A and B are shown apart, each in its own frame.
Chain A
Amino acid sequence: QVQLVQSGNEVKSPGASVKVSCKASGYSFTNYGVTWVRQAPGQGLEWMGWITTYNGNTNYAQKFHDRISMTADTSTGTAYMELRSLRPDDTAVYYCARVQLAAMLDHWGQGSLVTVSS
């Protein structure tokens, strides 16, 4: 069955970077894109961007454009999201999700909590 398994929770200091991984299984990794969505504590969902896994093309939300990188390792079926220059308001659960037709997100990872605190 389709599974997306994310890396563990992280605690970071302001100004640091974090890299969250998302390992896919149960389907052909390069046939689908991966989107990253985050959710601050008690808040709604925020779309961060997506990566086309077969060629590495990315589309980032302008809000994150200068400090985010999404990559995909096709040899291991793993997607990565790196966020730099972390601020306390980046504290959130970060989710990866498989992108299906018309960008619907049909399978999600379990989430990775990133806490930014001094």
Chain B
Amino acid sequence: DIQMTQSPSSLSAFVGDRVTITCRATQNIYNYVNWYQQKPGMAPKLLVYAASTLQPWAPSRFSGSGSGTDFTLTISALQAEDFATYYCHQTFHTPYTFGLGTKVEIK
């Protein structure tokens, strides 16, 4: 199975800060990575697909990048409503494994 190592597991940042979350795959997965945002008590929401394409609902402060084994989700200027847990998800080969998540807290 392809493992997705996501880091950090949690972070605390100020509104306006730039935040970066990374995921590393155990093999080349090209751009078959999606990112999800999950708020407490809610279902996850697709945020970025194919490594770098933003969903229409997502604010432009979110961006995704990477290919091969290393991927990044960036929030350019953190807002209070971005408090959530973020997951990467590889869809190159089944089982389609998730990273363990990054919990973003607002200072």
Contacts and interface: CB of A to CB of B under 8 A. Distances in A.
Interface of A: 35, 37, 44-47, 49, 59, 61-63, 95, 97, 100-106, 108-111
A111 B41 CA distance: 9
Contacts of A106: 46, 49, 55
Interface stretch (B64-72, B76-84, B95-103): B95-103
A63 B96 CA distance: 12
Given A45-B89, A45-B101, A102-B34, 9 more contacts: A37-B44, A44-B101, A45-B98, A62-B95, A100-B49, A102-B32, A103-B91, A105-B46, A108-B43
User: What 6 A-B pairs come out closest when comparing CB atoms?
Assistant: A103-B91, A108-B43, A61-B95, A104-B49, A45-B98, A47-B96
Give the interface SS of chain B, mostly helix, strand, loop or mixed: loop
Contacts of B50: 102, 104
Interface of B: 32, 34, 36, 38, 43-46, 49-50, 55, 87, 89, 91, 94-101
Contacts, number: 58
B3 to A, nearest CB: 13
26 contacts: A37-B44, A44-B98, A44-B100, A45-B44, A45-B87, A45-B89, A45-B98, A46-B98, A47-B89, A47-B96, A47-B97, A47-B98, A95-B44, A97-B43, A100-B49, A101-B49, A102-B34, A104-B34, A104-B46, A104-B50, A105-B34, A105-B89, A106-B49, A108-B43, A108-B45, A111-B43
A77 B89 CA distance: 26
B87 A44 contact: yes
A42 B98 CA distance: 15
Nearest to B44: A108
Contacts of B99: 44
Contacts of A59: 94
Contact of B96 (A100, A103, A108, A110): A103
Nearest to B34: A104
Contacts of A110: 43
Contacts of A97: 43
A62 B93 CA distance: 13
